[in-house]
Amino acid sequence: MPPEAGPLPGKASGAGRRPAMPPGATGPNMARWRFPDRLSGPAMMLRSLCVLLTCLAAAAVADAAPARRADPAYLASIVDDEADPLPRGLSARERAIWQPPQWPSAPLAPPAGPVRAQAEYEANHGLMIRWGAYNALHTSMVVPITTADPPSDVWVVVSGTSQETSARDVLAGGGADMDHVHFVTAPSDSVWIRDYGPRFIDDAGRRAISDHTYNRPRPNDDRVPQAIAAQWNETLYDLPLTHGGGNFHLFRNRDAFMTRLIVNENPGVGEQQIKDDYAAYQGLNLTLTDPFPSSYDSTQHIDMWMLPLADGKVLIGEYAAGEGGGVPKTVTDATASAMQDRGYTVYRTPGWRAGGAHYTYTNSVIMNRLVLVCQFNGYATQNAQAVATFQSALPEHEIVPVDCSSIIGLSGAIHCIVMHVPDLLFRADHD
């Protein structure tokens, strides 16, 4: 487990401010082994063994015990620490004071060696969440994640010892396996850790962090990646862009996607420079799409209408022609067609706006052999359609429905409140 939190550093520019975590250091135990580009006889045998083990693991899924589910009555009894949590978009007060941050004139340096970000559907050590708001929703995810066969770990960002004790009691009471729950102490402002949390990358076979400036005036949130880097002794690279992490998706083959919100939030930075930055800092081939109107989806994030499912498989929301003046349908249909042209199999789930909220099933979470699928009160037909689509697309996974009715009104769901912590043990042919 990571050590206790130390003093939180200020947000400083520059690359590689912290050394990479050596083997056996504190923090999640991540393997530091990497396949060579050209395989010798022994290396080929080792790769063959890894493939065999992977196949055996896939075959074992059918015999795996189902993950535990938290009792709905218990979830209903959980009380949040925060009575009025911040929305995923800007609050009224934040809109009045928000100004894009100014980057320093000194150039920043990306990783020197081979680098790539991990797709969410690849092997993961676990997830990171932030405690305080929507604690029942977090519990409904942590219980199955930590009791799956095999289990995954969860790191919980807390404000201090008192909140950690409370979170331990709540999660244990819900049935989580506490051997797989760990805590990180750091100040924070909101639950939306997907947007501000640490984006982990493979930095020449070692895990590191690529950190953007959060596109919200929430300074504690913006410093969380630095707190993680300091406590886990991992290298952190400053990506010179203002960004919200939910406006980002990628595949193992290094195809990545964002809406042009990132262009609008970085005045003076052209599209090609943004693509070059993501190639340098995360090893990705970035495609930009048009966003939804902010009047329809205040975040304009791509994770509200797209989800990579597996190599060659993608989920894209499907919208009626009358939704949002026709823009959501135009954007998603065009993206679906472009993905099919690239050779992807495209799956669709319904999306719609009602009661001031954008409802979507693409804001679900894939965690190893589990898929946590959004569900919404009053939409039984759409819920069943979404579950059936995930079962068809990912038949080897266990599908776990998660009620997101309480959070969707704040412009996000469960994908928005988690950050994946990748496992770097297995390298793919794309490396």
- Look at residue 259 and tell me whether its pLDDT is greater than 90: yes
| Contact assessment for residue 17 and residue 236, using Cβ atoms and an 8 Å cutoff | yes
Q: What is the pLDDT of residues 345-391, one digit of tens each?
A: 999 999 999 999 999 999 999 999 999 999 999 999 999 999 999 99
Structure tokens at 312: 């060659």
12 — pLDDT class (breaks 50, 70, 90): very low
Neighbours of 357 (CB within 10 A): 18
| Contact assessment for residue 199 and residue 212, using Cβ atoms and an 8 Å cutoff | yes
Question: What are the C-alpha distances in Å from 172 to residues 65, 158, 414?
Answer: 20, 16, 20
Sheet holding 206-214, edge to edge: 115-117, 199-203, 206-214, 236-243
Question: What are the C-alpha distances in Å from 252 to residues 118, 195, 202?
Answer: 7, 21, 12
CA–CA separation, 312 and 342 (whole Å): 9
- Look at residue 9 and tell me whether its pLDDT is greater than 90: no
Q: What is the pLDDT of residues 385-409, one digit of tens each?
A: 999 999 999 999 999 999 999 999 9
Residue 94: per-residue pLDDT:
58
- Look at residue 93 and tell me whether its pLDDT is greater than 80: no
Report, as an integer, the average pLDDT of 306-326.
98
Residue 89: per-residue pLDDT:
62
Q: What is the pLDDT of residues 143-201, one digit of tens each?
A: 999 999 999 999 999 999 999 999 999 999 999 999 999 999 999 999 999 999 999 99
Residue 64: per-residue pLDDT:
76
Percent of the chain whose pLDDT exceeds 90 = 74
- Look at residue 87 and tell me whether its pLDDT is greater than 70: no
Question: Identity (one letter) of the amino acid at 156?
Answer: V
- Look at residue 95 and tell me whether its pLDDT is greater than 70: no
Question: Sign of torsion, CA 419 424 425 428?
Answer: positive
CA–CA separation, 316 and 346 (whole Å): 7
Residue 101: per-residue pLDDT:
57
Which domains does the chain possess?
68-80+110-422 (3.75.10.10)
Residue 216: per-residue pLDDT:
85
Percent of the chain whose pLDDT exceeds 70 = 78
| Contact assessment for residue 379 and residue 359, using Cβ atoms and an 8 Å cutoff | yes
- Rounded mean pLDDT of the chain? 85
Distance of CA 226 to the CA centre of its chain: 17
**What is the pTM (predicted TM-score) of this model?**
0.83
- Look at residue 51 and tell me whether its pLDDT is greater than 50: no
CA–CA separation, 125 and 427 (whole Å): 15
The vertex-415 CA angle with 369 and 121, nearest 5°, equals: 35
CA–CA separation, 367 and 421 (whole Å): 10
7 — pLDDT class (breaks 50, 70, 90): very low
Report, as an integer, the average pLDDT of 51-74.
71
Token pair 């009661």 is at which residue?
355
Distance of CA 291 to the CA centre of its chain: 19
Q: What is the pLDDT of residues 274-313, one digit of tens each?
A: 999 999 999 999 999 999 999 999 999 999 999 999 999 9
91 — pLDDT class (breaks 50, 70, 90): low
Residue 423: per-residue pLDDT:
87
